[in-house]
Structure 1
Amino acid sequence: MIRYSLKCADDHGFESWFQSSEAFDGLLKARKVSCPVCGSAQVEKVLMAPAVQPSRAAKPVADTARPLATPSSKIEEALLTLRRQVQENSEYVGMGFVNEARRIHNGEAPERAIYGEAKVEEARRLIEDGVPVAPLPFMPQRKVN
């Protein structure tokens, strides 16, 4: 796996993981890499510092959550506000989203706000089955790294 720092044509910066540099190149050429802020597929890599592992003798650093980016427009500010509200008021269930959404809909799990990840086909099936879901206009914070 390889992590790239990226930016879109509107200068929105973001990061994403790829299986390899060849996989990134193929996805970029197929216009499958897009900005999580504006959706632009005009994306390019930007200079980034390498990830260096500390020595075994090094003292562990306190685990601090990566702060959300500073908004540079009203749209980015609105998206960051939405992200904060979702994260503060919902439970992240990751790739278990489809199963948990169905369980909640069927009364097999407690009613609560959740968010997570689903493949497009799975989300479409949830909607067709009457499960109330909606796509979020951002990647979960755990996936942005």
Structure 2
Amino acid sequence: MIVFDLMCADQGHRFEGWFGSSRDYEDQQNRGLLDCPVCGSANVGKAAMAPNVGRKGNQLPAFAKPAEDQSGTKAPTPVSNKAPVPAEYRQIIGELAKAQEKLLASSEWVGDKFADRARDIHYGEADEKAIHGTASKEEVAELVEEGIAALPLPLPVLPPDSKN
């Protein structure tokens, strides 16, 4: 399996594409099977990307390990294959992406310190401001128990220092 960063040439939307091989990507590209999941443009190509150097087998990051539910059973991983996306869904996703981008433009990225910073703001130890970052399910549950607003973002967000 190989992952390429792809980009819509018409609107500049970036997304990942997973392929069985480089030849698989080329075949799908030549047959016109690739399109932007946000706007539906077929004008899609590979985006510049950093090389991916694999970890040793015994160094799998925690986020890559299958999650377990409360019974100890491995939770299923969400998967999909290419399915036709109706035009109205692409429009809705595009509008959602624009709204989230606007929201994040007026918000501060705090990375994995989200829970601590949200508490500081809630309890008056820091100035009131909009923030976004990452938090574990447990951290979010604790914030909610304390009456602190913590909502998941509808679309994935890249940390500012990882953008090109």
Q: TM-score, normalised by structure 2?
A: 0.49
What code does the residue aligned with 2:105 have?
A: E
Task: Say whether the 8 Å CA contact 1:95–1:117 is kept in structure 2.
Answer: yes
Written as runs of structure 1 = structure 2, the 5 A alignment for 1:1-145 is 4-5=3-4, 6-7=16-17, 12=37, 20=55, 27=66, 31-32=76-77, 41-43=78-80, 73-142=90-159
Q: How many residues align?
A: 104
How far apart, in 2, do the equivalents of 1:96 and 1:136 lie?
16
RMSD (Å) for aligned C-alpha atoms? 4.0
Task: Say whether the 8 Å CA contact 1:7–1:43 is kept in structure 2.
Answer: no
Report deviation, 1:75. 2.2
Larger Rg, first or second structure (1 or 2): 2
Q: What percentage of aligned pairs have identical amino acids?
A: 29
Task: Say whether the 8 Å CA contact 2:119–2:148 is kept in structure 1.
Answer: yes
Q: TM-score, normalised by structure 1?
A: 0.55
Distance 1:87 1:42, change over 3 A: same
Unmatched 5+ stretches in structure 2: 5-15, 19-35, 39-48, 67-73, 82-88
Report deviation, 1:79. 2.2
Task: Say whether the 8 Å CA contact 2:107–2:130 is kept in structure 1.
Answer: yes
With a CA cutoff of 8 Å and minimum separation of 6, indicate the structure with the bigger relative contact order. Answer: 1
